[in-house]
A = this chain, B = another copy of it.
Amino acid sequence: MDSNKFVIAYKPNKNKKINNILAIIPIMSPIYVIGHKNPDTDSIASAIVTAYLLNKWKEKGCGIIKVDDEVIPAKQGEPNPETAFALEKFGVSVPETVTDVDGKKVVLVDHSELSQAPENLDKAELIGIIDHHKIGDVTTPNPILFVNFPVGCTGTVLKLLFDWTGVEIPKDMAGLMLSAILSDTVIFKSATTTELDKKVAEELAKIAGIDNIVQFGIDLKCKLADVSNLSARDIITRDFKDFDMSGKKVGIGQVELIDLGVIKDRIDEIYEEMKKMKEEGGYHSVILMLTDIMKEGTELLVVTDDPSVIEKAFGVKLEGKSVWLDGVMSRKKQVVPPLQKAFA
């Protein structure tokens, strides 16, 4: 607690005399838990679940780090329909939006990349990172809690941290972690899925009262797969990340669909929008993964200065607007690494 910060509580007083001070209340400086920009279900669910876990560490005095302040979940953007469905199903309210962390205490979840972090992270006090991605470019002046497992979802890491630090998992938190795992692993079909994700999801489903995990996964994914009400720009940017590939700016979006048929008529419209985005954003390449969950593959829509990188990366020549990549479902594991090599 910063002892220089106080709230002064006044007694209501018609004479407005200043000596009617009731109490001087110190303002606690809370810790914000924040996922990446353009949040998916894991980023929002993990912020909520991490805040719950850290508040329990504070309350019980247990845990890996000493928590002295209130912990508040936050988000950097609006929940997508899948996330909104999960929050509603488990009766959890939408966290507040925080996009600038100047002067704040912060825990990052689901990323360790400055490009995906909130503004002014360098002016914040970073307390921890809980993630399941590649190690990004965030560095710290002091030792912090950094837990990154090469598993399918931050939710999986969090479930283990509950167990290991002896914190009981309530039904709503179990439901959020389960939703995040099913979302991130595309119902265990993504190449990022590990045995640990499956085992943890089964345990969480029991706590959350979900009898049929796969059916619940499809219910979740259906919410995201309905893109009929979205503009082309919204379809592209809903889950879109920027990458620096050997100095070139590459943007990669992903849309997961139950069946590619539902988006077939809109490919030309989306492609024109990607061209616009490439110009506006100064991209070398704008790429959109149209991932077919049932067929387990991805139609890769590409607007690029150099089509040869696609052939170098995936061994398939880009001739029209797109290529089909059989078995490819994960941006993180199957699209970003080969592209990074192709750009190197």
Contacts and interface: CB of A to CB of B under 8 A. Distances in A.
Contact of A135 (B65, B139, B150, B333): B139
A140 B148 CA distance: 12
Contact of A160 (B132, B141, B164): B164
Contact of A143 (B132, B137, B143): B132
A65 B152 CA distance: 12
Most chain B beta carbons < 10 A, residue from A66, A135, A146, A332: A135
A332 B142 CA distance: 8
Interface string A304-338: 00000000000000000000000000001100010
Nearest to A156: B64
Given A160-B164, A164-B164, A64 B149 contact: yes
Interface in A35-66: 64-66
B142 A333 contact: yes
B164 A332 contact: no
Contacts of A196: 64
A214 interface: no
Contacts of A142: 134, 150, 333, 337
A143 B65 contact: no
A28 interface: no
A145 interface: yes
A340 interface: yes
B143 A148 contact: yes
Interface residues of A, number: 35
A136 B134 contact: no
A329 to B, nearest CB: 16
A192 B143 CA distance: 10
B65 A141 contact: no
Given A164-B160, A194-B66, A196-B64, A150 B144 contact: yes
A150 B140 CA distance: 12
A267 interface: no
Nearest to A336: B141
Contact of A144 (B148, B192, B332): B148
Nearest to A61: B195
A294 interface: no
Contacts of A140: 134-135
A190 to B, nearest CB: 12
Nearest to A195: B66
B141 A145 contact: no
A134 B145 contact: no
Given A150-B65, A164-B160, A138 B141 contact: no
Interface in A189-203: 192, 194-196
B147 A147 contact: yes
28 contacts: A64-B160, A64-B196, A65-B149, A66-B195, A134-B139, A134-B140, A134-B141, A134-B142, A134-B144, A135-B138, A135-B139, A135-B144, A136-B139, A137-B137, A137-B139, A141-B337, A142-B333, A142-B337, A143-B148, A143-B150, A143-B151, A143-B333, A145-B148, A146-B147, A146-B148, A147-B147, A147-B148, A164-B164
